[in-house]
Amino acid sequence: MSTYHPLSEAEAIEIARTIEGVFEPGAKLVSREIGDGNLNLVFHISDPAAGRSIILKQALPYAKVVGESWPLTLDRARIESEALILEGQLAPGLVPNVYLYDKDLALTIMEDLSDHVIMRQGLMNSGRYPLFAEHISTFLAQTLFFTSDLGHNQQEKKLRTSGFINPELCKITEDLIFDHPYTDADTNSFDPAIRDEAEALWNDGALHLEVALLREKFLTHSQALLHGDLHTGSIFITPESTKVIDPEFAYYGPMGFDIGAVIANLLLNFASREGWDKTAAEREEYEAYLLQTVKDVLEKFEAKFLALWNEQGVDRLAGSAPGYKENYMQRLLQDTIGFAGCKMVRRIVGLAHVADIDKIQDAAVRERAQRLALRIGKTLIASNRSFTSVNQLIDAVQTAN
């Protein structure tokens, strides 16, 4: 198409015109740059008269959140488009359609999902999404099972991992999730009101051991192709539909990291409810809704994953060794709990926060939400190797509240 440069709005419009079957020739197109993420440009190109639109997402050669001093590979656009296409095959209807990937421009052109809302915002507005647990558990079970050694030829899997070596994006996770929150790092950013909590994290040896063990899994356990950044800002939602976006962190890692991301972000919203619900009764109801969703996601995931294993497993030994499945699912739940805890802690004291908590206006309420999120996060990390059931997780969250 052309050599890499960040596109202007006019260029984005001209490229959008070339996608077949979207816009009429000569249509009057409008562009808006709508990227609210940390890393990339996102152009919304529309023909308002005809009610048609499309999204162009372009990687920048640096992290937008920090600036040009933090260079970042453009290859992540390839990883994102390839992961989206694969996820669309494994979990039909649960990701946007990809129309085109252009390597030179690090550009992915995809379906516009503006009729959905970003789930984080939806939860902040107390939205209810009765099909979310059903949809996301399908997404997780299908994408994780069929890219693992259980659902996929083991030699093919090894070959496929080479397309998803993602060292630079993995390093962001390794630093920002597993390292910096536990030391007095320059990248950390936290409310001065909770400095005591941050310092406690830096000095908690028992917690450091658990985080080191979870980090080791993230570094070494190539279990399945992960989305890698499955927070509620990467999920578009309506009461009827769920669409996962933004898999630029995709790599072969431990499955619990993706499942834990979903759980962590539901629980971060749980910790924020005092800031969003008008009455104690509404808060209680919404908290119960969130906890039920956590439970549903985990239970539905387990049922679907096991059904796939029983019906479509390709690994004879893993399928028949007595107790192996139970052991595997137990470890997967424990990883999920541990990674969920890590993902909560980093959102309070690390570089990137969540709007659920940061956008709470009242400083005292915000401080309570931050402390609650840390209490839950630390509990999950501390108990990740001892919990054996979803109910234990739910009880621990209720006790922390």
User: Given the rule CB under 6 A, which residues bind ligand ADP?
Assistant: 34-40, 42, 55, 57, 96, 110-114, 118, 233-234, 245-246, 248
The binder of 335, among Mg ion, ligand ADP, none, by C-beta within 5 to 8 A per type, is none
CB of 355 to ligand ADP, least distance (A): 11
Residues whose CB falls within 8 Å of the CB of residue 7, separated by 6 or more in sequence, listed in order: 15, 41, 43, 56, 58, 105, 107
Is 175 annotated in a binding site? The answer is no
**E strand or H helix at 183, and its extent?**
none
Q: Is 179 annotated as a binding residue?
A: no
Q: Least CB distance from residue 35 to Mg ion, whole Å?
A: 9
CB 27 within 8 A of CB 45: no
Are 215 and 178 in contact by the 8 Å Cβ rule? The answer is yes
Indicate the residue among 32 and 158 with the shorter CB distance to ligand ADP: 32
304 annotated binding-site participant:
no
Which residue lies nearer to ligand ADP by CB, 15 or 55? 55
Q: Does 346 count as an annotated binding residue? A: yes
Smallest gap from residue 299 Cβ to ligand ADP (A): 28
Check whether 57 is labelled as a binding-site residue.
yes
| Least distance to Mg ion, CB of residue 136, Å | 16
C-beta pairs of 182-186 under 8 Å, 24+ apart in sequence = 182/207, 182/208, 182/211
Q: Which is nearer to ligand ADP, 55 or 150 (CB)?
A: 55
DSSP 241-277: -EEE---TT-EEE-THHHHHHHHHHHHHHHHTGGGT-
Is residue 4 within 8 Å of 61, Cβ to Cβ?
Answer: yes
- 128 Cβ neighbours under 8 A, 6+ residues apart: 239, 289
List interacting residues with Mg ion (CB under 5 A): 37, 193, 246, 248
Which region, left, alpha or beta, applies to residue 256 given φ > 0 means left and ψ of -120 to 50 means alpha? alpha
- 112 is in the binding site of which of ligand ADP, Mg ion, none (Cβ under 5 to 8 A by kind)? ligand ADP
Q: Please, which residues have CB within 8 angstroms of residue 180's CB and are 6 or more apart in sequence?
A: 187, 188, 346, 350, 351
CB atoms within 10 A of CB 337: 29
> Nearest distance from residue 36's CB to Mg ion, in Å?
8
Nearer to Mg ion, 36 or 115 (CB): 36
Q: Which CB, 55 or 390, lies closer to ligand ADP?
A: 55
User: Is the CB of 119 or the CB of 380 nearer to Mg ion?
Assistant: 119
| Assigned token pair, 211 | 């985080």
Beta bridge partners of 237: 117, 242
Which of ligand ADP, Mg ion, none binds 193 (CB below 5-8 Å, type-dependent)? Mg ion
**Beta carbon of residue 363, minimum distance to ligand ADP (angstroms, whole number):** 27
Residue closest to ligand ADP when measured from CB atoms: 37
110 binds, among Mg ion, ligand ADP, none (CB under 5 to 8 A by kind): ligand ADP
Residue 40 annotated as lining a ligand binding site: yes
CA 251: distance to chain centroid?
Answer: 13
CB of 168 to ligand ADP, least distance (A): 14
Binding site for substrate: residue ranges?
229, 346
Binding site for ATP: residue ranges?
40, 57, 111-113, 246-248
